[in-house]
Structure 1
């Protein structure tokens, strides 16, 4: 945990780390997940000195919490499809909808 973090953030870090371990993540990966999540929450609530735009504008970790982790989800996000299309150099991808990107990629 970063120095100067509150007791609440310490508890949050431990809880997230333990949950990740229960899901089968390695100790190193569990620590990374916990640290990233807590740091993002600290940035969102103004507790950190610096914060990236994605940390402050994106939906909170708690709200997102498993939104796409359940079975039967909507598959990859539009952003994920777009990035794959960019890697494959698919023309016209910037104006495509999620469905069009999916079809162009053969998903």
Structure 2
């Protein structure tokens, strides 16, 4: 758990991690899912010092419930694709639409 988290977030982390393990996720993947979810909730509640745009403006992780997972019908969102393109330093990414980003990133 990140520094500065409270007891509620610790319990939330453990609950999410246990749920992921029950679904058959590996230990490391369960920890990643739990940490990302708790960090997003902390950002939405203004409990963290830094927060991404998608953490604060996107629908809450509890409401989303996997609607935007990478394996869904439409795959990753435009914002997720754009963030990946930015991490890879893909030239011309700001002028690309979702389909072009998917093609360039190999999704």
Deviations 1:25-76 (A, max 9, x none): 222221222122112211210223x022333233322232210349761234
Structure 2 counterpart of 1:52: 51
> Alpha carbons of 1:71 and 1:27: their partners in 2 closer, same or farther (altered >3 Å)?
closer
> Alpha carbons of 1:70 and 1:93: their partners in 2 closer, same or farther (altered >3 Å)?
closer
Question: Paired residues, what number?
Answer: 104
Partners of 1:27 and 1:106 in 2: how far apart?
A: 28
Deviation at 1:101, TM superposition (A): 5.3
Under a length normalisation based on structure 1, what TM-score does the superposition of the two structures give?
A: 0.62
Under a length normalisation based on structure 2, what TM-score does the superposition of the two structures give?
A: 0.62
Unaligned runs of 5+ in 2: none
Structure 2 counterpart of 1:31: 31
> Alpha carbons of 1:93 and 1:22: their partners in 2 closer, same or farther (altered >3 Å)?
same
Unaligned runs of 5+ in 1: none
Deviation at 1:5, TM superposition (A): 0.7
